Amino acid sequence: MRAFWRALRKNRLALVGGVVVVCLALLAILAPVLAPWDPNRPDVKRILEPPSRAHLLGTDQLGRDVLARMLYGSRVSLAVGFVSVGIAALIGIMLGAAAGYHGGTMDAAIMRLVDLMLVFPRFFLLLAVLAFLRPSIWTIMAVIGSTGWMGVARLVRAEFLAL
């Protein structure tokens, strides 16, 4: 663990990136405290107000608080990111471990599946799958996670083969 922190301190860009991500995550978690307004409630009396004490970033064309919408939107973005990466890691670790541990036919079959998935452009694959499924945030998380596991599977397989 100490080696990790030492390496992180030497790499300034990684340190700055980590601080930015932690700050954004804290802002997203503290959204109800920092912006107590409902991000979706329109207020026709407050349409396109400039920044003020009541609304730090002003209001939009429907009178909704811009800061509240940004903070609550960041919660959704972070949730999609973390859940989809978790799904991709889970699938990739399981398939990569199975391929690396068992070897032979199973390894060849899983690696051909990885190659097949890598052939398709990910964006178009996402669009095609989402066109057939019911649109929801959970569907988006599952589809992004289930189309991003190939690199993890290759890495885990290589580590198993190195043992």
pLDDT tens, residue by residue, 70-105: 999 999 999 999 999 999 999 999 999 999 999 999
pLDDT band at 122 (very low <50, low <70, confident <90, very high): confident
Do the Cβ atoms of 160 and 96 come closer than 8 Å?
Answer: yes
pLDDT of residue 107 exceeding 90: yes
pLDDT at 26: 96
Q: What is the DSSP string of 60-86?
A: -TTS-BHHHHHHHHHHHHHHHHHHHHH
CA angle 109, 113, 117 (to 5 degrees): 170
Strand partners, 65: 59
Q: What is the mean pLDDT of residues 55-76?
A: 95
Q: 154: left (phi > 0), else alpha (psi -120 to 50), else beta?
A: alpha
pLDDT tens per residue across span 1-49: 899 889 888 999 999 999 999 999 999 999 999 998 999 999 999 999 9
Residue 146 confidence (pLDDT) above 90: yes
Residues 6+ apart with CB under 8 A from 150: 92, 114, 117, 118
What's the rounded Cα separation, in Å, for the pair 116 and 12?
A: 38
Q: What is the pLDDT of residue 135?
A: 83
Cα distances from 83 to residues 37, 67, 92, 140, 143, in angstroms, run 27, 24, 14, 10, 11
Query: Residue 136 and residue 113: Cα distance in Å, rounded?
Result: 27
Task: Report, in this order, helix, strand and coil percent for the chain, each rounded to 5.
Answer: 75, 0, 25
**What is the CA angle 121-126-128, rounded to 5?**
95
Confidence of residue 142 (pLDDT cuts 50, 70, 90): very high
Nearest to 141 by CA among 93, 60, 91, 77: 77
Residue 134, pLDDT > 90, answer no
